[in-house]
């Protein structure tokens, strides 16, 4: 348990460090091209056409707060069930474009803010 706590703390501080280092190093991607690549590479099939995600297929990516290198890492060596995307298939510049596109999208609304759903008793 002690080890677990230490590892967790180390992980958290590493993560924070990465996020800070990240701010300056995120490449400037092309949003329009990212939009095309998001479709062409099939990301939309699991993450939704506007990156809103779905519980059973893939998490929300729209308005992502992930640092660029974490975003990239997920493509190169996915955390869990997502298929990997090698640089041969989706080069670093393409990941930067997709990242820019996702960042450009507004966060999707909460279910409780959608009248259609609240009318059905969603809280």
Site string for ligand HEC, 69-88 (x = CB under 6 A): --x--xx--xxxxxx-x---
C-alpha span between 104 and 123 (Å, rounded): 28
Measured from the CB atom, the residue of 53 and 117 that comes closer to ligand HEC is 53
Residue 67 interacting with ligand HEC (CB under 6 A): no
Residue 59 interacting with ligand HEC (CB under 6 A): yes
C-alpha span between 82 and 74 (Å, rounded): 8
Per-residue CA distances from 22 to 19, 63, 96 (Å): 5, 16, 13
Q: Shortest CA distance to 44 belongs to which of 31, 30, 55, 58? A: 58
The least distance separating ligand HEC from the CB of residue 5, rounded to whole angstroms, comes to 23
Question: In the complex, which residues of this chain contact ligand HEC (CB under 6 A)?
Answer: 41-43, 45-47, 57-59, 61, 66, 71, 74-75, 78-83, 85, 90, 98
């Amino acid at each position: 348990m002690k080890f677990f706590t230490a590892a967790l703390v180390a992980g958290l501080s590493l993560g924070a460090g990465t996020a800070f280092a990240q701010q300056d190093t995120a490449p400037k991607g092309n949003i329009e091209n990212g939009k095309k690549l998001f479709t062409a590479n099939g990301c939309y099939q699991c993450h939704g056409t506007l990156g809103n995600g779905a519980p059973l297929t893939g998490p929300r990516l729209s308005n992502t707060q992930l640092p660029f290198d974490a975003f990239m890492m997920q493509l190169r060596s996915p955390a869990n069930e997502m298929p990997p995307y090698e640089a041969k298939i989706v080069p670093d510049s393409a990941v930067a474009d997709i990242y820019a596109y996702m960042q450009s999208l507004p966060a999707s609304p909460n279910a409780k803010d959608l009248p259609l759903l609240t009318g059905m008793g969603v809280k």
